[in-house]
Amino acid sequence: METDKLIVNYRQLFKIRQDCWDQGIKITYIPGCWDGPSGPHLGHCICVDHCKSRRPGNILVIGIANDDTVRMLKDEGRPICTETIRARMMAMMKPVDFVTIVQESGQAGADGDQIMQILQPDLYVADQNDSSLRRKRKLCREWNCEFVTHSRYSPWNADGISTTKIVEELAAA
C-alpha cells in the first residue's frame, strides 16, 4: 500500500528528527492505542485533525501502542485490531505524516520514554483522561517539550467517543 511508507521504525524516526531540525520544522507527537471496532473511530479522527489544524506546519507523528501494551491497558479482548492494522489505518488519515509502532511494552511504552529520546518532539499531545498525565508531563519537562491535553469531544456526542464505550454497548445489546 502507498501509505505503508508512512509507517516508520525508530531508526527512520531519528532521521526524520534530524531532517526536521535541519529544515526548522517542528514535530507533534500523539501516542495512543488507536484501537476501534474496525480501526480508528471518529473520535480518533477528530483528535488527529484538530492537532494538525492547530499546528499546520508541524510534522504529525502518531505512536501506536503495541498489542502487549493495549492488552495491559484495556479490557479483556483488546486490542480489537492488531498493531499493524491500527498503524495502517492511522497512516491513511490525511493529517498524519508518520506512524510508528511503539516497541516498548507496558507503561513506559505507553508514555513514550524511548520515543522521546529518539524523536524529541516539540509538542506532545495526551488524552486528558490519561491515567499517567503526571508522568507524561514530567517526561516532557525533561526533554523540553511542550505538553498539551485533548478531550474526547465529538460534536455528536458530548460524552466523547471511546472504543471501551462502544465495546460495552455492543456487549450489552
Q: Which class would CATH give 2-172? A: alpha beta
Confidence bin at 163 (pLDDT 50/70/90): low
Average pLDDT over residues 60-65: 94
Is the CB of residue 50 less than 8 Å from the CB of residue 86? no
Q: What is the pLDDT of residues 19-50, one digit of tens each?
A: 999 999 999 999 988 887 766 777 788 888 88
Separate counts of helices (H) and strands (E) for the chain: 8, 5
pTM confidence score: 0.86
- What cell was used for 95? 493529517
The helix, strand and coil proportions of the chain, stated in percent and rounded to the nearest 5, come to 45, 20, 35
Could you tell me which of 148, 136, 111, 114 has the C-alpha nearest to residue 28?
148
Of 122 and 54, the one with more pLDDT: 122
- The whole-number pLDDT of residue 161 equals 60
Averaged pLDDT score across all residues of the chain? 85
The sheet carrying 59-65 orders its strands as 98-102, 59-65, 27-32, 123-127, 146-150
* Of the listed ranges 39-53, 125-139, 155-169, the one predicted with least confidence: 155-169
Could you tell me which of 130, 120, 134 has the C-alpha nearest to residue 150?
130
